[in-house]
Structure 1
Amino acid sequence: MIMDKLEHICYYQRSVPELWDAVRFAQRVEKEHLPVGRYPVGKGFAFVQEGQTRGFTEADFETHNKYLDVQILIEGSEMWEYADKSDLTVRTPYDPEKDIEWLEGSGDKIRMKPGMFYLVYPTDAHKPCCHESTPVYYRKVVVKIRIDKLLHRVGTDSMGMNQRKISW
């Protein structure tokens, strides 16, 4: 998981060059006031979303195996919850057609402000568009970057990603 201000996106360019497509699209959304909907972007697609946040208990964690999620908050505010997929329990098994798996458990709550972004990988469970006590308005861009089109290699297996176990 990567989370930062958009002004620091250059720090991540070498890791995920496709982030530039996401940022350029978010700038276009702001400049042209693009309506809610789905749009082609770079090596994937994007959604412009807006609405009211929901309580954390009204949402489940989600993960994706075919796409990285880049979520950029444009207006309003939102909170989201993060957890490593291995620390959660599967609620609905992975659906390859919809590229989503639903999970239950708890993680770390994070507050987003306009001008911030986060990027999640297949092992990064996330619960977006939430609030702690009162619903608030948000407008955001969610860019889906195809993992198999990335310049760097991200493989998925039954654990989410091909990686070596690191012991401390």
Structure 2
Amino acid sequence: MIFGNIGQEGTYGFLPRDVKEFFEYAANHDLAGFEKGSHPIDGERFFVNIVEYETTLPENRFWEAHRKYLDVHLMLDGQEQIDLNFIENMEQKEFVEKDDFLPLEGEANSHVVLRPGDFLICYPNDGHRTAVAVNGPEKIRKAIFKVGI
């Protein structure tokens, strides 16, 4: 996992080109103006999902990981905590191929708080639980880039 801020793009020169594409796309598009839902960029290889939801208690949320895509969470408005743990430390349930969804059970061993402009890149071994409230429930809006691997 990599946690950073979109304003510090130069710090992430080591990332593979296909992962860094989200910086360019975010800089050249008004993501805040996008409708909720999925927006294709380069077919199934690279797309962005715009989501809005209210953050809540951790026990109301679920753990997940992915095998076919990296997730790049980019906060547009509000703040949320994302709990993290490596999938090797968790109980892995049956992978749902059609949704690229690996359900997990376990506890957090760390977390990040995303505020506007912050991003989190989750790799296939990074279990994550999103939508955790920071200081109480809050409506958030974010872009989740999906980068095929």
1:5 equivalent in structure 2: 5
1:29 equivalent in structure 2: 30
CA distance in 1, matches of 2:73, 2:141: 11
2:30 counterpart of 1:44: no
1:14 equivalent in structure 2: 14
Residue by residue over 1:89-134, the C-alpha shift from the partner in whole angstroms, topping out at 9 and shown as x without a partner, is 12x3111111111111111132111110010111000111211552
Q: Name the CA shift for 1:19/1:37 in 2 (closer, same or farther; >3 Å).
A: same
Tell me how large the CA RMSD over aligned residues is: 1.7
1:115 equivalent in structure 2: 117
Identify unmatched segments of 5+ residues in structure 1. Answer: 148-168
1:106 equivalent in structure 2: 107
Quick check: which has more Rg, 1 or 2? 1
Q: Which contiguous aligned blocks of 4+ residues in structure 1 show a shift greater than 4 angstroms?
A: none
Higher relative contact order (CA 8 A, sep 6+): 2
Q: Name the CA shift for 1:19/1:10 in 2 (closer, same or farther; >3 Å).
A: farther
CA contact 2:80–2:134 (8 Å) conserved in 1: no
Task: Give the secondary structure class of the aligned counterpart of 1:39.
Answer: strand
1:127 equivalent in structure 2: 129
**Candidates 68, 71, 85, aligned match of 1:69:** 71
Q: Work out the percentage of aligned pairs sharing the same amino acid.
A: 23
1:93 equivalent in structure 2: 94
Residue by residue over 1:60-102, the C-alpha shift from the partner in whole angstroms, topping out at 9 and shown as x without a partner, is 2101000000000011111110101111112x31111111111
Identify unmatched segments of 5+ residues in structure 2. Answer: none
Q: If the length of structure 2 is used for normalisation, what is the TM-score?
A: 0.88
CA distance in 1, matches of 2:17, 2:86: 24
Q: If the length of structure 1 is used for normalisation, what is the TM-score?
A: 0.79
Q: Aligned pair count?
A: 145
2:56 counterpart of 1:54: yes
